[in-house]
Amino acid sequence: MRRLAATWMVICFVLSAGAALAEPLRIGALFSVTGPAAFLGEPEKNTLEMLVKEINAKGGVKGQPVEAVIYDTTGDPTKAVQLATKLIKDDKVVAIIGPSTTGETMAVKPVTEKEQIPLVSCAAGIKITDPVNAWTFKTPANDHIAGEKILNYAVSKGQKNFALLTVSDGFGASGREQLKALLAKKGLALVADETFGPKDTDMTAQLTKIRAANPDAIICWGTNPGPAVVTRNVKQLGIKTPLYMSHGVASKKYIELAGVDAAEGVMLPAGKLAVFDKLPETDPQAKLLKEYDAAYRKAYGVEASTFGGYAYDAFQLIIGAVQKNGAGAEQLRSGLEQASKMVGVSGSFTMSSSDHNGLDLSAFEMVRITAGDWAIIQ
């Protein structure tokens, strides 16, 4: 009897120890939490941590706890590559969310593709997923979609001659290339084509040249702080030409950096999160956006941002793929590719073997900054 009792105790100990030591579903993340792109990486990190806490409170994925291994890249592509390797080799993650920027993502892609680990980027550059590679996905809408949203609206207002002012980094270069192609396709004129560096603090020289070209509209493509500087310079120079920004500045931080007075009237394509409280209840994203913003405010005391939404969507796509297919590399990859009408923060995702972004023009609303806030352009 003693031997039987002892044996039963050992079995119970082994079973309970096995449960306690159950390996978590480990998801890696590369975010620019500090550095120039911290406005992207910080809400991405916060969102991912919030979602992991929420899903574990509900029992994880099929009873398996989820663990996020998050590293700060500081926006440095070289560091991003090193940390991606660490996530794969040391941390044994099943997938990686991020990086935050196009330049970092393009540097990391060869690593994840070689190691056959799904990468779901939080950056917008079209070259991330075009041409399609089996292992690389992204959640922000392709920059050509944002560009087309701008040009469709501009043309409806009779604007035909355009000036470009783009940042000389991965995001800006991709946007510039797509905008030039779209202008040519639509038979519109490019009358000025200027660039600025990511750390430049004055763009009056470029804007003076642009003013001399007399465009119908100016399109600035970049992420802060550069576009905020451009906005202030436009105001200082007294330029009255309509100014469009890219979706890369679709957060209240841009308005804060530019100043409410200077930003007044600026137009851009924004994800629906920026105007969720102005959407009709029939919009398929309305409920989710309201809930995400409420949860983020409760957790961090500030409103949710479009950029945090990129991490939100990446996490949900990965979890959905695991639930559908399993956590093996090929299972997860094919599960991502099979996502259909998944409503997220950035839009409704339908992936395929030929589309690893899955969003269309409906992902954006054209907005105008009015009295320091977003207003949907009707």
Q: Does one domain contain both 230 and 369? A: yes
Q: How far apart are the C-alpha atoms of 112 and 138, rounded to whole Å?
A: 13
Q: Does one domain contain both 33 and 59? A: yes
| Start-to-end C-alpha separation, the chain | 81
Q: Does one domain contain both 293 and 195? A: no
What confidence score (pLDDT) does residue 223 get?
A: 87
Domains contained in the chain, number: 2
What confidence score (pLDDT) does residue 14 get?
A: 40
Q: What is the pLDDT of residues 82-125, one digit of tens each?
A: 999 999 999 999 999 999 998 999 999 999 999 999 999 999 88
Task: Decide if 48 is inside a domain.
Answer: yes
Structure confidence at residue 268 as a pLDDT band (50, 70, 90): very high
Q: Does one domain contain both 336 and 320? A: yes
Amino acid making up residue 377: I
Question: Nearest-5° angle of CA 20, CA 22, CA 27?
Answer: 130
What confidence score (pLDDT) does residue 252 get?
A: 85
Q: Does one domain contain both 153 and 44? A: no
**Mean pLDDT for the chain?**
93
Task: Decide if 7 is inside a domain.
Answer: no
Q: Does one domain contain both 130 and 173? A: no
Structure confidence at residue 355 as a pLDDT band (50, 70, 90): very high
Q: Does one domain contain both 207 and 271? A: yes
Extract long-range pairs of 250-253: CB within 8 Å, 24+ residues apart.
Answer: 250/274, 250/306, 250/367, 251/39, 251/305, 251/306, 251/307, 252/303, 252/305, 253/39, 253/224, 253/305
Per-residue DSSP letters for 206-232?
HHHHHHHH--SEEEEE--TTHHHHHHH
Q: Does one domain contain both 179 and 235? A: yes
Q: Does one domain contain both 136 and 154? A: no
Task: Decide if 13 is inside a domain.
Answer: no
Q: Which domain holds residue 198?
A: 144-277+364-376
Supply the CATH number for residue 115's domain: 3.40.50.2300
Q: Does one domain contain both 154 and 241? A: yes
Q: Does one domain contain both 257 and 186? A: yes
Q: What is the pLDDT of residues 294-329, one digit of tens each?
A: 999 999 999 998 899 999 999 999 999 999 999 999
Structure confidence at residue 248 as a pLDDT band (50, 70, 90): confident
Q: What is the pLDDT of residues 8-65, one digit of tens each?
A: 443 444 444 444 447 899 999 999 999 988 989 999 999 999 999 999 999 999 899 9
- Is 80 exceeded by the pLDDT of residue 225? yes
Q: Does one domain contain both 165 and 123? A: no
What confidence score (pLDDT) does residue 170 get?
A: 82
Per the confidence metrics, is the pTM higher than 0.75? yes
Conformational region of residue 63, where left means phi above 0, alpha means psi within -120 to 50, and beta covers everything else: left
Per-residue b/e over 117-138, b at no fewer than 16 CB within 10 Å?
Answer: bbbbbbbbbbbbbbeeeebbbb
